[in-house]
Amino acid sequence: MPRKVTKSLQRKINPDRKYDSVLIQRLINKSMLNGKKHVAEQAVYGALEDAAKKLKLENPVEVFEKAFENISPNFEVKSRRVGGANYQIPFPIQGHRREHFAFMWLVGSARDKKGMPYQKRLSTEIVDAYNGTGTAFKKKEDTHKMAEANRAFAHFAR
């Protein structure tokens, strides 16, 4: 008997105040610690402006969108047990899951850097993602390499 199909229960996220962008609001929400949204908001806005200055571009939203697109994965690998052996099976990623990975890699790599304020760490990570370098971009590349290496097991995916 098939499983029940559930309706999508995605919350509607309102756009941020400054740039009117839902993506930036989601970045603010992912950056927030201990419910301090104002602190996260200031850090993200400052990081976006710093990144735009470093790249000598006018619009911080365009910088972030390009950086975000550069670190969004297209494939992921999932473990599946087939006949007593575990296989890493590549699956394409779509929608919110793709965005979730990109946000978590960006915020996680910014938090892992030490020795400077979060705003500067996030700014450098955004610039690196824009240029196709950095920790978050490397995570995407590693995920794609893993999916490519296990492409032979794709027929196990239903």
pTM: 0.86
Does residue 83 form part of some domain? yes
Residue 3: helix, strand or coil by DSSP? coil
Mean pLDDT confidence for 28-36: 95
Residue 59: its pLDDT value, please? 92
Residue 16 forms part of a structural domain: no
**pLDDT value for 82:** 82
pLDDT tens digits, 86-119: 888 888 898 889 999 999 999 999 999 999 999 9
**For residue 153, what pLDDT band results from cuts at 50, 70 and 90?**
confident
39: domain CATH number? 1.10.455.10
Quote the tokens at residue 155.
């027929």
Establish if 9 belongs to a structural domain: no
**Alpha carbon distance 53, 49 (integer Å):** 6
The average pLDDT across 25-33 equals 95
- 13 lies in some domain: no
Q: Mutual orientation of helices 22-31 and 95-112 as an angle, nearest 10°? A: 50
Q: Taking residues 138-157, report their average pLDDT.
A: 84
Helices (H), 35-149: 37-54, 60-71, 95-112, 118-131, 135-149
For 40-76, write each residue's pLDDT tens digit: 999 999 999 999 999 998 899 999 999 999 999 999 8
Share above pLDDT 70 across residues of the chain, in percent, rounded to a whole number: 97
12 domain-assigned: no
Q: According to the model, what pLDDT value does residue 120 have?
A: 96
Per the structure, the count of domains in the chain is 1
48, 27 Cβ separation under 8 angstroms: no
Judge whether 30 and 101 are in contact, CB under 8 Å.
no
Task: Give the domain range for residue 83.
Answer: 22-156
Q: Is residue 78 part of a domain?
A: yes
Question: What single letter denotes the amino acid at residue 60?
Answer: P
Does residue 91 lie within any of the structural domains? yes
